[in-house]
Chains A and B, each alone.
Chain A
């Protein structure tokens, strides 16, 4: 089973001719992903790592039957690239690009939701289902097939925790990096819902950070809808208080957003919360 990416994933890489696109297209294929096309306007007809390059996403999707796109283009072209993918027949778009203006993210996500397209990111490491496929930049070697579903707002911290899980006797069904920006496509809740329905996933790990209220909202959802056990880690227990967003930030947060608030909410929903990343596999074993 697994979620979002699997054996049926046929992938387009937007920005395949760049340094990161070239490197990571190869890494994705080594992971087992069916990378069927690349897109780079003006470079149609070329090939990178044996993958045919097209000028447009529409042409790439039509010629190859691709259903998923990975956006690896610089921030100033990202809105264009992501909207092109959303309008070109693929059903899932993974946006790795970081430093995307928040107004662009709002635009992309609202259009995608209206059209029923799944967007993951921006500023995310991607999605990996070991033994099946990976879309994004997560390191290949840290994964091991298993029954733990992971959802995380972080990038490198996700690798840290996946790696710790693999080094213990556990493995992953799917790992989803939803991205660390204020506005992202899939939320914790969207992913938790898919894990709850996924046959391969028996337990879930949620990796959060201080700031925003996404973890508190996830806790509410878990309490009502998730029957599979959940382990969490929240980074930033000892981080200095962030810069204030005027009064508006404080009014929205109303005391939420801190590590204590998130941990309290998760524990109240029956989630086991690790104090350090290394404790996550121990808590999984205890389940």
Chain B
């Protein structure tokens, strides 16, 4: 069980290698964006070609917004990606360490002190650990967003692999997501579909409350001028750079691991 959790956390972090590697190249990463752009030059181009809006992304310290017109933040730089990986590990490693410590403690009590720990007591100890650990991990994922949310969702569906505390806590990520405020929704739709013109040029009505909000997009009900009832799905402006950055991190880790794994999985990608 402990094993399954450490694997999952390891996977979620996906970038310890990256942090080491990128700290060496930190200067380079700071001065040029090209590193991240190589990962997805297409999205860099796209990001550079769209116009801007303030307050979309509170934690993007984008250096490339010098024309002041970028609404959708550009891809994360190597430095930002490293920061994300470090941030995750800073919060996930204590959980891992606590599990390991508990394991060692139990072993010690058994072998050195000759204690006989009954199954029920051990199960209870692990249940408590799971409760505590899953709360911390769910919080971390909630705040970090990006690919971590997606991975968390996948874990939440695998009740066969992970302890119940984890699957149920992560299940909440499935639908308990904070939607974008309506002001932002309106700006995104106007910019993407209307060239900045007001919504009334296209929609007779537009519901302010979303029908649903997920990690990548949310959906609003609306009526077109001709009366057709439609669903408008719109992407969160700050999701793309985080997601692509996390996926890039993940690929790098599997590439780095390729040598130590029996099968070279990176070639499969």
Bind each other: no
